[in-house]
Amino acid sequence: MRPLLTLLAAACAAAHIPALAADLARAEEIVKGQCFVCHGEQGESSSPVFPRLAGQHAAYVARQLADYKSGRRKSDAMQPMVEGLAPADFPALGAYFEKQPTFAHAVADPELAQVGRYIYQRGNPDSGVPACASCHGEAGQGSATLPRLAGQHARYTERQLKLFDKRERTNDNAVMHAVASRLTELELKAVASYVSGLK
């Protein structure tokens, strides 16, 4: 019975491969047609205004795209980009960006990043700021539901934290508002600087 189950599982997986390839081909077409302008073909955005998507978790990317399309997450730049996408495109784009290689990036201000390292790993018990690592992981790798922060542009991370603080980031706000609202300006910049140098 066991060999039959193994054979059946292998057959199902093999049948799924062409669909996966088609999805990734569709995702590549979308990236080369529109995403590359801001995020680069491999998700290595060269502008600190736009996030680096290389290595980001597929499920997280898919959910953010769905939130942009539904209006749950607001962005003048992203809303027009997702209008023509089908729901099936979201996980395909997520899978595309997740498999792109990630790179180490130099930190602009190493001393500031050391302050950020402390906050990221230990938090600030005096002000009630939890350690970022408790959710995003020691190396900033995140999870399927939480973003990978490692290597993200410091300016982009800083902006997202400010949006969470003001409740202008309209999705994922419940926990992140509580965190961002307790960060001082120095801590916010320091954490953003620190994660930008993680790989």
Q: Which domain holds residue 87?
A: 2-98
**Distance between CA atoms of residues 140 and 132, nearest Å:** 8
Q: Which of 98, 132, 163 is the last residue of a domain?
A: 98
Q: Residue holding tokens 């490692």? A: 150
Cα–Cα nearest to 80, from 128, 133, 34: 34
Q: Is residue 104 part of a domain?
A: no
Residues 94, 143 within the same domain: no
Residues 145, 188 within the same domain: yes
Q: Report the 10 Å Cβ neighbour count for 74.
A: 14
**CATH number of the structural domain spanning residue 171:** 1.10.760.10
- The structure's pTM equals 0.88
pLDDT in tens, the chain (199 residues): 555 445 445 444 444 455 567 799 999 999 999 999 999 999 999 999 999 999 999 999 999 999 999 999 999 999 999 999 999 999 999 999 999 999 999 999 999 999 999 999 999 999 999 999 999 999 999 999 999 999 999 999 999 999 999 999 989 888 999 999 999 999 999 999 999 999 9
